């Protein structure tokens, strides 16, 4: 691992978000000052240079602990453009046929896999065999079986597998988790998660089951699945679900348009969630307890996240999610940091087991027991 001793960062609320979570959001500007980072830096190659890969690359410009140093793509023109834009050397550029050679490149520590869902499984296993750490976008795989195989491959190779759960580092989210852990909401009784939007281009990969593994649930619904777990603080023990499809031409067999699902938790709380590709104005989390409530809306978008509780508005620092995510993941991989909410492969397998159960419940019409 390398160290950048002369890398200066002007600390803004976004860049120091995680250190500010436990502090008052009303800190005076005078407390923000220039500091010098002198620790290890995670050198990352991004696989998949699409819109989200570009968002991550842009966010990494202001990282202190992570640096974009390589690319993997099947499009030579994109590689050339990224080389020029981000200063990536030729020796750190690979395509989908030859990226196993990263095993012999000491200048790359980790690969961030940002490809269509169905391609994650093979890519993560190949990167693991090349002895590099892996960060994989969510959902980590198209089902729990493939997800577990990815976890096993990384364990066997002696590398770490993290998943792009950016909300696990978001400041408003972490404040609600802190309050819930402190008992400020009393006994948690109910969670509602609304995740969805009206999807456009019918030819995109998200509407191709062979690439996406499903429909809205695999893309946007996973936010409510995962959110129910970190907001309530437990893993569910049963699920029921119902599917609605109004446009079978656009949403073909195996590509869900809208799914409503309900989760039961061991402490007695229940969750009611919606995942859809046919409605806007959603993106809302609501947590209710015997002594208070918390609401986020927007809850999982790129920002700014907004929230309130029974005690008033949340005014946590506004952060660039991917910047904080990559810095915090660097801390996990290089310094052994423990995140407040897990972001490893086993965390992702739990979500995949829930997704499998939701699809099963939509077909059977029966309650499905969960064993996470």
pLDDT of residue 37: 86
Which of 166, 192, 214 is the endpoint of a domain? 166
368 alpha carbon, distance to own chain's centre = 25
Q: Does 322 fall in a domain? A: no
Asked if pLDDT for residue 9 goes beyond 60, the answer is no
Q: Does 77 fall in a domain? A: yes
pLDDT in tens, 78-103: 999 999 999 999 999 999 999 999 99
Query: Are residues 226 and 364 both part of a single domain?
Result: yes
HSE, side-chain direction, 13 A CA sphere, residue 163: 27
Distances (CA, A) of 295 to 173, 232, 260, 270: 10, 13, 20, 16
Asked if pLDDT for residue 117 goes beyond 70, the answer is yes
pLDDT in tens, 172-201: 999 999 999 999 999 999 999 999 999 999
Q: Average pLDDT in the 36-44 region? A: 92
Distances (CA, A) of 10 to 36, 77, 85, 94: 9, 34, 22, 33
Query: Are residues 129 and 194 both part of a single domain?
Result: no
- Domain CATH code at residue 189: 3.30.360.10
Q: 240 with 368: CB under 8 angstroms?
A: yes
- Domain CATH code at residue 40: 3.40.50.720
Region for 112 from its dihedrals, namely left if φ exceeds 0, alpha if ψ lies in -120 to 50, beta otherwise: beta
The reported pTM is 0.90
91 alpha carbon, distance to own chain's centre = 29
Q: What is the DSSP string of 238-303?
A: EEEEEEE-S-TTTS-TT--SEEEEEEE-TTS-EEEEEEESS--S--EEEEEESS-EEEESSSSSSS
Q: How many independent structural domains does the chain possess?
A: 2
HSE, side-chain direction, 13 A CA sphere, residue 48: 19
Report the distance separating Cα 120 and Cα 151, nearest Å: 12
pLDDT of residue 15: 41
Q: Does 331 fall in a domain? A: no
pLDDT of residue 36: 79
pLDDT of residue 369: 98
Which of 107, 140, 166 is the endpoint of a domain? 166
Query: Are residues 182 and 243 both part of a single domain?
Result: yes
Query: Are residues 146 and 229 both part of a single domain?
Result: no
Query: Are residues 213 and 133 both part of a single domain?
Result: no
Question: Helices 144-157 and 120-129 sit at what angle, rounded to 10 degrees?
Answer: 10
Which of 106, 136, 166 is the endpoint of a domain? 166
Residue-range definition of the domain harbouring residue 90: 2-166
Q: Does 333 fall in a domain? A: no
Residue whose entry in the numeric block shows the structure tokens 């990226």: 99
Provide the pLDDT confidence category of residue 35 given band limits of 50, 70 and 90: low
Q: Average pLDDT in the 103-123 region? A: 98
Q: What is the largest CA-CA distance in the chain?
A: 60
Residue whose entry in the numeric block shows the structure tokens 């309900």: 262
Q: Does 320 fall in a domain? A: no
The rounded mean pLDDT for the chain is 92
Provide the pLDDT confidence category of residue 18 given band limits of 50, 70 and 90: very low
Distances (CA, A) of 359 to 142, 224, 247, 276, 302: 12, 15, 18, 14, 27
Query: Are residues 53 and 194 both part of a single domain?
Result: no
């Amino acid at each position: 691992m390398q160290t950048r001793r002369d890398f200066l960062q002007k600390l803004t609320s976004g860049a120091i978000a995680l250190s500010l979570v436990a502090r008052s959001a009303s800190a005076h500007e005078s407390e923000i000052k220039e500091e010098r980072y002198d620790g290890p830096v995670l050198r990352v190659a991004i696989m998949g240079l699409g819109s989200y890969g570009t968002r991550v690359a842009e966010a990494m410009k202001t990282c202190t602990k992570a640096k974009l140093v390589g690319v993997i793509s099947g499009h030579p023109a994109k590689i050339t453009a990224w080389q020029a834009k981000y200063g990536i050397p030729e020796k750190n550029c690979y395509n989908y046929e030859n990226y196993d050679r990263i095993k012999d490149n000491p200048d790359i520590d980790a690969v961030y896999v940002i490809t269509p869902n169905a391609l994650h499984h093979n890519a993560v296993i190949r990167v693991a065999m090349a002895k590099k750490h892996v960060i994989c976008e969510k959902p980590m795989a198209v089902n729990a079986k493939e997800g577990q195989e990815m976890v096993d491959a990384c364990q066997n190779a002696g590398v770490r597998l993290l998943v792009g759960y950016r909300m696990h580092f978001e400041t408003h989210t972490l404040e609600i988790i802190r309050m819930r852990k402190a008992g400020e909401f009393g006994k948690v009784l109910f969670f509602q998660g609304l995740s969805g939007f009206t999807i456009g281009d019918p030819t995109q990969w998200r509407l191709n089951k062979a690439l996406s593994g499903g429909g809205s649930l695999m893309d946007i619904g996973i936010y409510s699945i995962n959110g129910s777990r970190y907001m309530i603080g437990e893993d569910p023990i049963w699920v029921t679900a119902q599917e609605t499809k109004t446009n079978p031409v656009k949403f073909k067999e195996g590509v869900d348009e809208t799914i409503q699902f309900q989760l039961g938790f061991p402490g007695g709380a229940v969750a009611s969630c919606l995942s859809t590709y046919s409605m806007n104005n959603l993106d809302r989390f609501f947590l209710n307890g015997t002594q208070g409530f918390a609401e986020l809306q927007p809850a999982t978008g790129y920002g700014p996240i907004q929230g309130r509780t029974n005690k008033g508005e949340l005014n946590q620092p506004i952060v660039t999610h991917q910047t904080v995510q990559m810095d915090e993941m660097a801390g996990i991989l290089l310094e052994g940091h423990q995140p407040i909410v897990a972001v490893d492969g086993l965390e992702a397998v739990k979500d995949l087991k829930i997704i499998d159960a939701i699809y099963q419940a939509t077909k059977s019409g029966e309650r499905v027991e969960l064993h996470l």
